[in-house]
Amino acid sequence: MTTHPDVRPATRAVDTYLERIGYRGDVTPGVDVLRALHRAHLATVPFENLDVHLGAVVPLDRAAILDKVVARRRGGYCFELNTAFGALLEALGFEVSLACAAIGPRDAEEPLWGNHMALLVRVDGGTWVADVGMGQGFVEPLPLRPGPHDRAGFDFEVARDDHWWVGLHRFGRLPGYLLREEPHELEWFEPHHQRQSTDPESSFVRRLLAQRPHDDHVLTLVGTKLFSNGPAGGTEVPVETAEEFAAVLAERFDVPVADVDTDRLFRFASAPTT
């Protein structure tokens, strides 16, 4: 991943990004700073696929993605969010690479490589998996070394077979993802970004989704149902009106609803599925 002109150290763009995620702490590259930035990003920038259903998907271009995430204060999914966060980290002096991943079972015979993007960050003599584009993922990065990781009842696992495996907790809908360690250029992910956002068989095209991981639960909006799941239990709440739908997006996922056609989104979300 090469340094680009959109985000550089000691520029207004960096300050604007840090303001976007509400971060006012130290920015000296180190594991503790990486953890704090990762946590701040997830707390303020939601995982969501709203633009897929508004016909407004941005190209897989750093400038366009940074405009969406930072200037327009929107969320996105893995290709967008990890591209943006990786740009910020690199601008601050971290060594970052884009990593190709395949969401699915650990023993998949034909992994769907490219259906997910994560980040590998090398800092303080180690490598860390950073992923602000996984809606049900880890709040803080995981070290890229085999072992379990218990985060307040959320159990994660990093393992190594033919490829790395990042196992997710049991309170979500996905088991985890396989991960390749070699770096990839952003352009490599373009066809996968297009497929995820346009293919009628893509789960992103078939359903509206917003997610946010917290320390003690994962909040998920699927269509017109709002779920909260974690070690303490789970809840399911129907979202019954367009007004409630807009309020959930604004209050639970920090979506700037004044700039989004929430009525159109609600009509799609509440339509019968086939």
Instruction: Please identify which of the residues 51, 53, 78, 193 carries the catalytic annotation.
Output: 78
Please give the single-letter amino acid code of residue 97.
S
In angstroms, what CA-CA distances link 262 with 33, 48, 168?
36, 13, 31
Looking at 131, 192, 193, 217, which residue is catalytic? 131
Least Cα distance to 80 among 104, 55, 49 occurs for: 49
Lookup: tokens for 255 = 């979506």
The residue from 38, 53, 116, 193 that is catalytic is 116
**100 has catalytic annotation:** no
Q: Is 78 a catalytic site residue?
A: yes
116 counts as catalytic: yes
DSSP codes joined into one string, 55-121? T-PPPS-HHHHHIIIIIS---B-HHHHHHHHHHHHHHTT-EEEEEEEEES-TT-SS--TTSEEEEEE
Sign of CA dihedral 173, 175, 181, 187: negative
Residue numbers annotated as active site: 78, 116, 131
